[in-house]
């Protein structure tokens, strides 16, 4: 089969003929890849920033169709008898699936809690430990825990099952849209979900002051009227980083705010003008069902954004900040923009550099931080529901608001890595079957 | 009046005769101090660790009785007409009051949210900006927002008003117990409350995996049975630092766990043997109503605690860690003890030193941090309710589990600061009227 492979030491991607992967373990599945994405974090390996020497197939974003299943699959694996994830019993050859960017068993304590991104047996697709999806076929370990079966309403949210059948749903959603599920859309949903669930944000959501915001039967502070004004409840949120994940986070955040009926002021920040323009196009393309009537949304550079937040909040600062960049400048900006008792949710992938804060900085502003990788498998049902609602906005190649710049033959992988690394193209998807 | 005053550059506390403070602003109250506490954070100024030159009255922990009120107090200040905190209308000379360690107006946006510890007009008692309570009298700015009126059931929790009247309640609670309200007990309650309210802890509390733990109508992950086992739900919590605040945090945490009916395993950690012994005495002294039937609670040094957590959790780590020390060793220990998707709640007062983490450390473990100062005024109703339940455990001078080592004449302040700084005495309270 054709596969894009990374060669040491750096900047060397070759499309080569390699053996089709086989079932190696009874829990494995082999997936025929329909589309594979090129993601900003692929560049960490591409650039040789990590001490890797092993030639391997790249890519952690892919969708496809199950073509082979290990011997642990089938009706005998019913959950009631095996106690294993239901997919071991129900997954079939031909099912349309998406994988998260990391493997997870779905059975251990960590997975059961929903923290699938940190399953102890996890591995990142497209790493020396596990060949990736920028190929015609990919082997998926622990596929009964890892894969999400798009063809099965059993794995959908109740809102989806209530409104769609499999055939209609999958007919009406493009593969390029579905590819966004593998990483960037669930990561965006995760970021927004974490921010709005944080205890320090609850006074705005509940209209009750801390700590009765956490428990209606908790004693109240008995200051002022005891209830918050509409002005008090107005959420002011900054988003730093408007790459594809940042845009997904913005769409997810807007959707959650509108569903909760919350008024908001959002300032979306990037230093890069073309990213700011994309964010504006996306916001324009979202209908009123996705942005509501009580919101203000502006896209700015950092310095302008600081002035905006100061003006909006009387110098108090943002309720919360989403950090979707993954470097210390972004963390510093997040700190500066946050209010006392502010929440910073960071889904950026950070380097092994000390974070730029003293303990006193964090104490003095009562800052809360949430760091880390999206448990994508756990976020799939929420992300899929959102994707179905918003695919027209960002999933259709060729529209102004699409997050996908182009779909190309996988044979162009080497050239596209180079162009993507140099900022000459946006998000690229590889079609492994273009020439087949 | 007599007052303990700090003199530059360091290690110089003198008990001196100074003028009784007067009303300087119509929102002021003057409080006659019944007892004032000596707190670990008083040592930051004592030792000259801060660039301060101003002679000032020390102490941020005090309780007392209102003796003078500014002209803004009285029936004309009713909330319905003035829109101000109710205490401007209801506070009377003779009322028994406790102040948080910082002033807060109770009227601004930040206070209305309950984030009183960061009120923009706030000031720390016992600092160059505001004379403290280690004196016979203290002036309390913005007293209608700052003070908590112990004599008024209107400020109590509903559980307290349902079971007590003012006379019985105040007769049955000692002043040494009430002094714990000024700082250390609300800080402990704040720490425990933050930890248990964190979104990453909710799977254990709700029995549903992330993200349906946050919203029962959210789609579930559909792995395993979909519900968590009792073993999955077992909270494993480490507490680092068993000084008086740490002990208060332990008592608050146990109370919250028992109220929620949650099973738990807690390891309480300190390098200091006498602190570990005090924690053990306190745990012994708590009745089963305060520690439940489904808990395990051990007190250990750090290395032993790491082994305990590894054994308890199969090397996964703690659900949450309370950091009540305020230095980088404690933060590092908290990180090491936490599980992936673990929560670290830090109420320690930190120095201007960089925190010992890289962004990669935090990303790789999906760590969440909550830093900062307790909004004590907002926590008073919860803390007072807990104090009434547990005063026998830690509030009675002379018992083995008391957090208060001794009550002394304020004239001994200089000597007691020295002994406290050198670890020769535990928590000391000053009686400003011993010789009067």
pLDDT tens per residue, range B229-266: 889 999 999 999 999 999 999 999 999 999 999 999 99
- Asked if B372 and A352 come within 8 Å (Cβ–Cβ), the reply is no
Instruction: Pick from A44, A216, A256, A340 the residue to mutate for testing the B interface (most B CBs within 10 Å).
Output: A340
Q: pLDDT band for B275, please (50, 70, 90 cuts).
A: very high
Q: pLDDT band for A158, please (50, 70, 90 cuts).
A: confident
Give the Cα separation of B120 and A360 in Å (integer). 18
pLDDT at B227 over 80: no
Chain A residues inside the 8 Å CB shell of B120 = 316
For A315, left (φ over 0), alpha (ψ -120 to 50), or beta?
left
pLDDT tens per residue, range B22-55: 999 999 999 999 999 999 989 999 999 888 999 9
Q: Based on the number of CB atoms within 10 Å of its own CB, is B193 exposed (0-12), middle (13-18) or buried (19 or more)?
A: buried
Q: Give the chain A residue nearest B365 (alpha carbons).
A: A372
Contact B53, B29 (CB under 8 A): no
Place of tokens 């029995």: B207
Instruction: Pick from A82, A88, A114 the residue to mutate for testing the B interface (most B CBs within 10 Å).
Output: A114
How many residues are there in chain A?
436
A-to-B residue pairs, Cβ atoms closer than 8 angstroms? 300
Q: How many helices (H) and strands (E) does chain B have?
A: 19, 16
Shortest alpha-carbon distance between residue B282 and chain A (Å)? 25
Chain B residues inside the 8 Å CB shell of A164 = none
pLDDT tens per residue, range A332-365: 999 999 999 999 999 999 999 999 999 999 999 9
Place of tokens 């020295």: B418
pLDDT tens per residue, range B370-411: 999 999 999 999 999 999 999 999 988 889 999 999 999 999
pLDDT at A373 over 90: yes
* pLDDT for the residue A79: 83
Secondary structure of residue B336 in the 3-state scheme: helix
Q: Where are the beta strands (DSSP E) in B114-211?
A: 137-140, 148-149
Shortest alpha-carbon distance between residue A120 and chain B (Å)? 9
Task: Give the DSSP per-residue string, A70-105.
Answer: -TT-SGGG-HHHH-S-THHHH--TT-EEE--SB---
- Asked if A358 and B346 come within 8 Å (Cβ–Cβ), the reply is no
* pLDDT for the residue B220: 62
Shortest alpha-carbon distance between residue A322 and chain B (Å)? 14
Tell me the CB-side half-sphere exposure of residue B44, using CA atoms within 13 A.
17
Contact A176, A35 (CB under 8 A): yes
- Asked if B199 and A204 come within 8 Å (Cβ–Cβ), the reply is no
Domains and CATH numbers, chain A: 2-182+375-431 (3.90.180.10), 186-371 (3.40.50.720)
* pLDDT for the residue B123: 96
Q: Of B378, B376, B379, B357, whose CA–CA distance to B368 is shortest?
A: B357
Using only C-alpha atoms, chain A has a radius of gyration, in whole angstroms, of 22
Chain A residues inside the 8 Å CB shell of B156 = 219
Q: Who's near A418: CB < 8 A, 6+ residues apart?
A: A11
Shortest alpha-carbon distance between residue A21 and chain B (Å)? 26
Q: Give the chain B residue nearest A233 (alpha carbons).
A: B113
pLDDT average, residue stretch A248-265: 95
- Asked if B157 and A219 come within 8 Å (Cβ–Cβ), the reply is yes
Task: Using the Cα atoms of residue A194, residue A197, residue A203 and residue A206 in order, give the sign of their dihedral.
Answer: positive
Give the Cα separation of A150 and A171 in Å (integer). 12
Task: Using the Cα atoms of residue A46, residue A52, residue A55 and residue A59 in order, give the sign of their dihedral.
Answer: negative
Reported ipTM: the value is 0.95
- Asked if B193 and A214 come within 8 Å (Cβ–Cβ), the reply is yes
pLDDT average, residue stretch B92-110: 95
Chain A residues inside the 8 Å CB shell of B80 = none
Task: Give the DSSP per-residue string, B225-256.
Answer: TSB--HHHH-EEEEEE--SHHHHHHHHHHHHH
Compute CA distances A210 → A204, A233, B155, B378, whole Å: 10, 12, 15, 7
- Asked if A359 and B341 come within 8 Å (Cβ–Cβ), the reply is no
Give the Cα separation of A383 and A185 in Å (integer). 6
Q: Give the chain B residue nearest A156 (alpha carbons).
A: B219
Instruction: Pick from A108, A112, A117 the residue to mutate for testing the B interface (most B CBs within 10 Å).
Output: A112
Give the Cα separation of B116 and B119 in Å (integer). 5
Give the Cα separation of A391 and A363 in Å (integer). 42
Give the Cα separation of B111 and A339 in Å (integer). 13
- Asked if A223 and B85 come within 8 Å (Cβ–Cβ), the reply is yes
Q: Who's near A313: CB < 8 A, 6+ residues apart?
A: A236, A339
Q: Where are the beta strands (DSSP E) in B154-285?
A: 235-240, 264-269
């Amino acid at each position: 089969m054709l596969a894009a492979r990374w060669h040491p030491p750096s900047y060397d991607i070759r499309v080569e003929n390699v053996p089709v992967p086989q079932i190696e373990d009874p829990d494995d599945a082999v997936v025929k890849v329909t589309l594979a994405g090129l993601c900003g974090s692929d560049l960490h390996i591409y650039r040789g920033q990590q001490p890797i020497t092993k030639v391997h197939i790249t890519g952690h974003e892919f969708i496809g169709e199950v073509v082979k299943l290990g011997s642990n699959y089938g009706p005998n694996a019913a959950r009631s008898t095996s106690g294993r994830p239901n997919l071991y019993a129900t997954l079939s050859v031909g099912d349309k699936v998406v994988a998260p960017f990391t493997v997870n068993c779905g059975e251990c304590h960590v997975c059961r809690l929903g923290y699938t991104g940190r399953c102890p047996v996890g591995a990142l697709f497209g790493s020396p430990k596990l060949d990736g999806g920028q190929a015609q076929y990919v082997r998926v370990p622990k596929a009964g825990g890892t894969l999400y079966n798009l063809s099965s309403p059993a794995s959908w949210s109740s809102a989806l099952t209530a409104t769609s059948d499999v055939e209609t749903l999958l007919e009406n959603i493009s593969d390029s849209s579905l590819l966004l599920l593998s990483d960037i859309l669930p990561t965006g949903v995760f970021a927004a979900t974490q921010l709005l669930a944080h205890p320090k944000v609850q006074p705005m959501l509940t209209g009750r002051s801390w700590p009765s915001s956490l428990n209606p039967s908790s004693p109240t502070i008995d200051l002022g009227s005891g209830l918050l004004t509409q002005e008090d409840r107005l959420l002011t949120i900054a988003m730093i980083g408007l790459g594809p994940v940042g845009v997904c986070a913005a769409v997810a955040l807007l959707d959650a705010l509108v569903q909760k009926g919350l008024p908001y002021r959002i300032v979306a920040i990037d230093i890069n003008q073309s990213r700011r323009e994309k964010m504006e196009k996306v916001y324009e393309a979202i209908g009123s069902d996705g942005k509501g009537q009580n919101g203000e949304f502006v896209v700015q550079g950092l310095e302008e954004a600081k002035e905006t937040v100061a003006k909006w909040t009387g110098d108090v600062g943002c309720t919360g900040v989403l950090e979707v960049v993954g470097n210390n400048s972004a963390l510093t900006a997040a700190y500066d923009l946050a209010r006392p008792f502010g929440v910073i949710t960071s889904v950026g992938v950070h380097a092994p550099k000390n974070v730029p804060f003293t303990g006193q900085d964090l104490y003095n502003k009562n800052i809360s931080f949430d760091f880390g990788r999206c448990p994508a498998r756990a976020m799939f049902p929420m992300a899929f529901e959102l994707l179905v609602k918003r695919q027209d906005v960002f999933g259709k190649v060729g529209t102004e608001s699409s997050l996908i710049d182009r779909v190309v033959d996988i044979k162009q992988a080497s050239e596209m890595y180079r162009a993507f690394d140099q900022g000459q193209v946006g998000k690229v998807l590889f079609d492994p079957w273009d020439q087949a």
